[in-house]
Structure formats: structure tokens, C-alpha cells
């Protein structure tokens, strides 16, 4: 039996957690989604809000770091809420899934850029992180598209997000370590994913 094709960048292990998590989010955020739907707010508008939050984060991170935490958390909430709104209103589309990831990547890059601009992250690490983050998620997406999903993928947010919160709230800077380890983790995912894609993509091409 062929593995199901998913238009996302999750590993099989993550999906075991993500699917029940989505149902919980729909339950918790459902009333807010209903209110947003009545106001004609679309999922794509919510997704784009992440970019606005990214710009606001850059503006605040140097002078108001604790307020920047709030902005950062709101951006993550928007990343979850757009999916809830899409499911609640029946507006789940392939473009919407793509646009969600586009805005997610833009926000992530802006957060890292803002921290690098204020000397919290080494510029070279910031550039490598932005590349690795996009490459990792693209690799996972293609693995799912070609029905060659990775069993497990260690995501950068386990390493980077805690370091961001510690830095902004307590002023303790472990960001270079967190970002560096995040790059290594994503690099491993990329290498493993490319190995699976080499087989899956060649098989798809030869099977035409």
C-alpha cells in the first residue's frame, strides 16, 4: 500500500502528534475562528499577519525585548490560527497551505535577521539558518509529496525558540549555540531527506 501524500513538511512521527493537536486547536480556537469568519477575515490574511509580526519584532527586539516576546508568541499563534480558520470555514486549499508556509518562512527569517541586526546572533549563523530552515522544510515537503516521508525529523524550534525566549526575557545569550545546533539538526534532516528523494523521484520519473 502506497504512503499517503501530504502537502506539509512534517515527518511521520510529528504527524502522530500534529493531527490530534489540530483537533484540540479547533476545539480551543473554534469560537475565535467563528468570530473571524463573521468579520470576513480569511485564512490567508491571518497567515500574512505573521509577516507584520516579524516586522514588528525587528522594530522592538533592540529596545523592548520583553514586548518582542509577546509579538513573537502572537506570530506563532497566527501560524496555528490560520489552519483552524481554514478548517472551520472550509477554505482549505493547496495555495493556502503553500502561502501559510511562505509566511511562516518569512516570519522565521525576519526574527533571526532582527536578532542578528542587534548582535545577538553571528551574521554567518543567521544566514546559514535562514537557508537551512527553508531547505529543510522544502525537503520534508518534497518527501511527503513523493510519498517518501521521513520517520522522524528534529526541528529547529526545539533548540532555537527556547534560546530566543531566554535571551529576550533574561538577557542570557545562548542563541549562537541554539542556532548552530538547529543548523546541524536541519542539515541531518536535509541529508536523510535527499537520500530518500533520490530514490523516490527517480522511481516516479522512470514510472512515467
Length of the chain: 208
pLDDT digits (tens, 9 = 90+) for 68-112: 999 999 999 999 899 889 988 888 888 998 899 999 999 999 999
Domain presence at residue 5: no
The count of domains in the chain is: 1
Give me the domain span that covers residue 184.
12-206
pLDDT digits (tens, 9 = 90+) for 128-157: 999 999 999 999 999 999 999 999 988 888
> Distance between CA 193 and CA 195 in Å, rounded?
5
pLDDT bracket for residue 208 (50, 70, 90):
low
Domain presence at residue 151: yes
- Residue 4 in this model has a pLDDT that exceeds 80: no
We report the CATH number of the domain holding residue 82 as 1.20.120.1760
Domain presence at residue 146: yes
pTM of the model: 0.90
Mean pLDDT of 38-67: 96
The number of C-alpha atoms within 13 Å of 206 and in the hemisphere containing its C-beta is 6
Amino acid at each position: 500500500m502506497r504512503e499517503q501524500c501530504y502537502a506539509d513538511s512534517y515527518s511521520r512521527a510529528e504527524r502522530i502528534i500534529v493531527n490530534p493537536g489540530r483537533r484540540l486547536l479547533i476545539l480551543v480556537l473554534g469560537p475565535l475562528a467563528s468570530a473571524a469568519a463573521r468579520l470576513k477575515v480569511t485564512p490567508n490574511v491571518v497567515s500574512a499577519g505573521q509577516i507584520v509580526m516579524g516586522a514588528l519584532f525587528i522594530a522592538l527586539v533592540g529596545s523592548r525585548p520583553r514586548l518582542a516576546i509577546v509579538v513573537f508568541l502572537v506570530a506563532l499563534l497566527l501560524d496555528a490560527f490560520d489552519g483552524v480558520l481554514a478548517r472551520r470555514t472550509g477554505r482549505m486549499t493547496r495555495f493556502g497551505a503553500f502561502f501559510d508556509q511562505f509566511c511562516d518562512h518569512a516570519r522565521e527569517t525576519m526574527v533571526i535577521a532582527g536578532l542578528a541586526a542587534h548582535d545577538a546572533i553571528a551574521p554567518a549563523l543567521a544566514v546559514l539558518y535562514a537557508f537551512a530552515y527553508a531547505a529543510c522544510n522544502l525537503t520534508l515537503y518534497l518527501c511527503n509529496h513523493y510519498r517518501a516521508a521521513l520517520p522522524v525529523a528534529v526541528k529547529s524550534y526545539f533548540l532555537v525558540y527556547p534560546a530566543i525566549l531566554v535571551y529576550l526575557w533574561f538577557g542570557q545569550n545562548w542563541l549562537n549555540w541554539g542556532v548552530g545546533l538547529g543548523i546541524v539538526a536541519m542539515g541531518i534532516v536535509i541529508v536523510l531527506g535527499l537520500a530518500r528523494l533520490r530514490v523516490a523521484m527517480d522511481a516516479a520519473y522512470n514510472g512515467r
